[in-house]
Structure 1
Amino acid sequence: MIRHVFNYESRSEPLLSRNGFARRLGINLLAAFVLIAISLLAGMAGYHHFESMAWIDAFANASMILSGMGPLQPMETWGGKCFAGWYALYSGLALILISGLILAPILHRLMHRFHLDTEDDEEAEERGSK
């Protein structure tokens, strides 16, 4: 799956078909969703374990931290505070990674389209080499 997520065509290759682009975007969205789900489950488990929160409260806190909003409840234990700090640091980086996963195929297609060699470019190269 990782090979498909990061396998982009080079500048000299033709633009990917719409179906191919939709498949690439779908794979990246799936990878982003899996990363979000794993991160959310890890946060919920941490809050449940360290702060003895009910699962719904752990979900609310983990999802708020993961989205960059901040915790709903203050932490009361040393372990909970330590976990919340590390989870917040991880969540900031995960947010950047997930955004990159989602935007990469779109930006790559846009940049590839702008840099495609056209027939006019080929004719200009031929005239310049003569």
Structure 2
Amino acid sequence: MKFENRTQKVTPFPQFLFRLGRYGLFALGLIVFSVLMGTFGYHYYGNISWLDSFHMACMILTGMGPVVEMKAPEAKIFSSLYALYSGVAFLSITAVFFAPIIHRLLHILHVEQDDDDK
């Protein structure tokens, strides 16, 4: 997953769309991993149903907050650690998804022109 530098030409649009799809799939994989980790953790430590665990993991990952109150100490510790992880993961996943778009915009603005183009 390497970007071109400023001395190289801007990637053609179909290749850019392919790159965007690859980064999107990688971001989706990170989301699925994070939700599964939270779902299993809430189900195991919080002793709540699979559906409620999934709901709780999704709400925490997106920053909406908890839905079910955790009573057991180990459930509270897991919930706290998962919330810290989710804050970092959400921002990182967003950065991964938008990286090709931001790079393309900046690359278009900063690409060096050849003497023939001037």
Paired residue for 1:61? 56
Aligned identity (percent) is 41
Structure 2, unaligned stretches of length 5 or more?
none
Structure 1 segments (4+ residues) deviating >2 Å: 117-123
TM-score with structure 2 setting the length: 0.95
Of structures 1 and 2, the one with the larger relative CO (CA 8 A, separation 6+) is 2
Residue 116 of structure 1 and its aligned partner are, at CA, apart by 1.4
Paired residue for 1:101? 96
TM-score with structure 1 setting the length: 0.87
Higher helix proportion (structure 1 or 2): 1
Equivalent in 83, 101, 118 of residue 78 of structure 2 = 83
The DSSP-based 3-state class of the residue aligned with 2:8 is: coil
Paired residue for 1:128? none
Paired residue for 1:13? 8
Paired residue for 1:46? 41
Structure 1, unaligned stretches of length 5 or more?
124-130
The DSSP-based 3-state class of the residue aligned with 1:12 is: coil
RMSD: 1.4
Letter in 2 for 1:68: G
Residue 118 of structure 1 and its aligned partner are, at CA, apart by 3.1
Alignment length, in residue pairs? Answer: 118
Q: Which of structures 1 and 2 has the bigger CA Rg?
A: 1
